[in-house]
Amino acid sequence: MRKTGKMKHKTTITFVGIFLLAGGCYLCSRTGSAFFNSLMFCMNATLLLGLVVFWMYTVSARLLKTRTRLYISAAGFFIALFVMMRIFKYRIVVNGVIASRYVTYLYYIPRIMIPTLFLITAVRLAGDRTFHRHLSRGILVTGCALMALPLTNDLHGFVYRPKVVPAQFDMTSRTYSWGPGFFLLYAWIISLMVVGLIVLFAIMRKRDKKLVVMLVFTIVLWLSAKLFTSLVIDRLNTARMYSGVEIDCFSMLLLLECCIRSRLIPYNENYAGFFHSLSMPVLITGPGLDTVYASSVPVRASKETLASAEDAPVYLDEDTRLMCMKIRAGYTFWTEDESELHKEQRRLADANAVLSEENDLIALERRLKEQKAQLEAQALVYEKIGAAMAPKQKKIRELLNATRPDAADFADALGKVCVLNAYSKRKTNLLLLSEEALPKQNRELFLALSESARFLNCCGIDAAAVGEEYSGLPLSDVHELYDTFETLIEAYLPVLREMTVSIMPEGIRVAMEAETKVEIAGAVLPVTCVESDGLLFFTIKRRNAGGGVK
C-alpha cells in the first residue's frame, strides 16, 4: 500500500509539472519569432491535450466498470473537446467569419455537457439510483434542448443578436448583443454547477469532514484563479500562462479527481479491502508465492501445489480445480468448484449411452429397410424379366420337346433355340439397365444385334452386324428396335440365307437374301421393305426423332 501511495504522489507531481510546463510554453509563444511562437503553441496544445487524455486513461484503469466511470470519462472527453475548440478558434480560424461564428456556437456543447455530467455524477454518488435514473434523463434532455438554441442562433437570434449583416457577423463584441437565450444558458450552467457542488458537499460532510475541506480548497483555488486572471492579468493586459477555458477545464479535472481520491467512487487501489470482501477463493502472491492479498474464503494449498499450478491447473480434490495466472508482480490463484459440472457430465454420459443404443438400433433398422428395399427392387426387376422372357422360353421348350437328337431336323431346331437364347440373354441385360445408368453414347444395341447375328450362323445363315457400333439412342428406343428386329428374324428364319444389319440415326437397316418374301405380324415398330436385285432391304425406324450414330 505504501508503494501504491508513493506511485500516486509521483504521478500527481509529474502531472502538475507538465501542467506548469504547458503554461510556460504559452508564455513563450508571444515572442517576435513566428516559428518559435508556433513551436511553443504546439507544445502547449500537445501537453494540455496529453494531460487530459492521460487523466482519462487513469480513470479507466483506476475506477471499476460502472456508470459513474462512464460519466467521468465522458466529461473528460468534452473537456478535451473544449480545449481543442478554443485552439481551433483562436489559432486556426482567425479571419473566417462563418467558421468563427459557428465555433462559438459549438462552444456550448462542452459548456453544457461538462456541468451536466458533473451533476449526474454527483447525484449518482448520493446512492439513490432510481432518482438518479429519472433525474439524469431529465437533465440530459433539457441540456440537449438548450444546446439547440446556440446551434440555431442564425435562425432566431435568441442567444446572440447580430448588429451587422451575416457576412460580417464574426462574434466580435461590436457585432452582437446578448439575447435572453444567453442569460438562460449561463443560468442553467451555473445552476448545474451549484447544485452539483451542494450534493458533493452533503455527501462529503456525511463521510468525513476532511473531505469537505478538500472540496472547499478546490473551489477556492478555482475561483481565485478566475478572479486573478480577470482582475489582474486581463486588466493589466499582461502575459498569462492559461486561458479562462483552460482554467475551467483543469479545475473541473481537479474537482473530479477529488471525488476519486476521496473514495466516493468504487476505486481499484483498495486491493486489500476489495479482496477481503470477495466470497470466492482468491489468492494474490508475490514471485516467491508468499501471500499478499487473500479473500475471506481461503485457498487451501501448499506452496508446492501452488508452484505446480503455474504450468497447468491442478485438482485439489475430485471437484476443486486450482487455477493460476501470472500478473506483473506475482501470481493470482483461484479455485473453481466443478461438482455441478461433473454431475452434469455424468448425467450427460448416461444420456449419451442411451442415445448411442437408440442410434445403433435406428441405424440397424435403416440398414434392414435398405436391404429390404433392394430385395424388393430386385424382385420387381426379376419379375419384369421373367414376364418379358416367358414367351421366348415357352417357344424354346416347345422346340426342344418337339424334336429328338436323332431326328433329321434336330440341327435346325437347335439353331432356332440358339437364336432365341441369344435374344433372351441380350434382352435380359437390357432390362437390367436403367435410363440413368446408360451412357449417352453406348454399344448396347450393336452388341445385341451382333450376338443375334452370330447365333444365326448356327442355323447356316451368313449374318453379321456391320457399321458404326456406338449410338446415342435412349434405352426405350433400344428395346423397341431390338424387339422389332427379333420379330423380323423369327419371321424370316425359315427362308433366310444371308443378312447384314447396321445402325442408322433413325433406327436400324437390315439387308437380307431370302427365298421368298414373308408377311411380318406383331412388330413393335413399323417395318418398311424395299426389294432390289433380289435382295430385301428393311428399315425399322424408332418412334422419336433425333439421336444419331456417333
- 193 vs 93: which has the higher pLDDT: 193
State pTM to two decimals: 0.50
- Our CA angle for 394, 397, 402, nearest 5°, is 125
Q: Which of 92-106, 316-330, 371-385, 386-400 is modeled with the greatest confidence?
A: 316-330
Q: What is the dihedral of CA 96, 101, 107, 112, to 10 degrees?
A: -170
Per-residue confidence (pLDDT) for residue 274, from 0 to 100: 61
> Under DSSP, is residue 167 helix (H, G, I), strand (E, B) or coil?
helix
Specify the DSSP class assigned to residue 23: H
Per-residue confidence (pLDDT) for residue 277, from 0 to 100: 65
Q: pLDDT, tens digit, for every residue of 169-195?
A: 777 778 888 888 889 988 998 898 888
- Our CA angle for 498, 484, 468, nearest 5°, is 65
Strand pairing partners for 528? 539
- Our CA angle for 511, 417, 512, nearest 5°, is 10
Tell me the fold of 2-269: Rhopdopsin 7-helix transmembrane proteins (1.20.1070)
Per-residue confidence (pLDDT) for residue 7, from 0 to 100: 61
Would you say 510 and 501 are in contact if contact means Cβ atoms under 8 Å apart? Answer: yes
What is d(CA 14, CA 12) in angstroms, rounded to the nearest whole number?
5
In 368-468 the beta strands, taken as DSSP E runs, fall at 462-465
What is d(CA 416, CA 452) in angstroms, rounded to the nearest whole number?
11
Instruction: Indicate the range of 16-25, 26-35, 301-310, 386-395 predicted with least confidence.
Output: 386-395
What is d(CA 506, CA 545) in angstroms, rounded to the nearest whole number?
7
Per-residue confidence (pLDDT) for residue 131, from 0 to 100: 60
Per-residue confidence (pLDDT) for residue 6, from 0 to 100: 58
Distances (CA, A) of 291 to 277, 282, 294: 16, 11, 7
Which amino acid is it at 444? E
What is d(CA 124, CA 472) in angstroms, rounded to the nearest whole number?
87
Instruction: Indicate the range of 85-94, 204-213, 300-309, 334-343 predicted with least confidence.
Output: 85-94
Q: How far apart are the first and last CA of the chain?
A: 95
Q: Looking at the predicted structure, is the pLDDT value of residue 2 above 50?
A: no
Cell 510546463 appears where?
21
What is d(CA 285, CA 324) in angstroms, rounded to the nearest whole number?
11
Model confidence band, residue 268 (pLDDT cutoffs 50, 70, 90): low
* Grid cell listed for 197: 457542488
Q: pLDDT, tens digit, for every residue of 298-311?
A: 788 888 888 888 88
Nearest CA-CA partner of 218 in 196, 186, 238, 239? 196
* Grid cell listed for 142: 433539457
Q: pLDDT, tens digit, for every residue of 495-537?
A: 899 999 999 988 999 999 998 888 888 888 999 999 988 899 9
What is d(CA 192, CA 115) in angstroms, rounded to the nearest whole number?
6
Per-residue confidence (pLDDT) for residue 511, from 0 to 100: 94
- 276 vs 39: which has the higher pLDDT: 39
- Our CA angle for 401, 403, 408, nearest 5°, is 175
What is d(CA 479, CA 485) in angstroms, rounded to the nearest whole number?
10
Distances (CA, A) of 515 to 453, 474, 492: 18, 35, 9
Q: Looking at the predicted structure, is the pLDDT value of residue 124 above 50?
A: yes
Q: Looking at the predicted structure, is the pLDDT value of residue 112 above 80?
A: yes
Per-residue confidence (pLDDT) for residue 128, from 0 to 100: 56
Model confidence band, residue 546 (pLDDT cutoffs 50, 70, 90): very low
In 64-164 the beta strands, taken as DSSP E runs, fall at 160-162
Q: pLDDT, tens digit, for every residue of 393-404?
A: 787 777 777 777
Tell me how crowded residue 144 is: count the other CB atoms within 10 A of its CB.
13
Our separate counts of H helices and E strands in the chain read 17, 12
Q: What is the dihedral of CA 168, 169, 175, 178, to 10 degrees?
A: 170
Per-residue confidence (pLDDT) for residue 463, from 0 to 100: 92
Q: Looking at the predicted structure, is the pLDDT value of residue 64 above 90?
A: no
Q: Looking at the predicted structure, is the pLDDT value of residue 11 above 70?
A: yes
Q: Looking at the predicted structure, is the pLDDT value of residue 271 above 70?
A: no
Per-residue confidence (pLDDT) for residue 466, from 0 to 100: 92
Residue 419: which residues within 8 A CB-CB, separation 6 or more? Answer: 452, 455, 456, 458, 459, 489, 490, 493
CB neighbour class for 339 (10 Å; exposed up to 12, middle 13-18, buried from 19):
exposed
Q: How confident is the prediction for the chain on average, in pLDDT?
A: 82
Rounded to 5 degrees, what are φ and ψ at 192? -60, -45
What is d(CA 281, CA 294) in angstroms, rounded to the nearest whole number?
8
Q: Which of 81-90, 228-237, 251-260, 346-355 is modeled with the greatest confidence?
A: 346-355
Residue 316: which residues within 8 A CB-CB, separation 6 or more? Answer: 300, 301, 305, 322, 335
Domain boundaries, the chain: 2-269, 273-339, 358-550
Would you say 110 and 82 are in contact if contact means Cβ atoms under 8 Å apart? Answer: yes
Which helix (H) or strand (E) is 329 found in, with range?
Answer: none
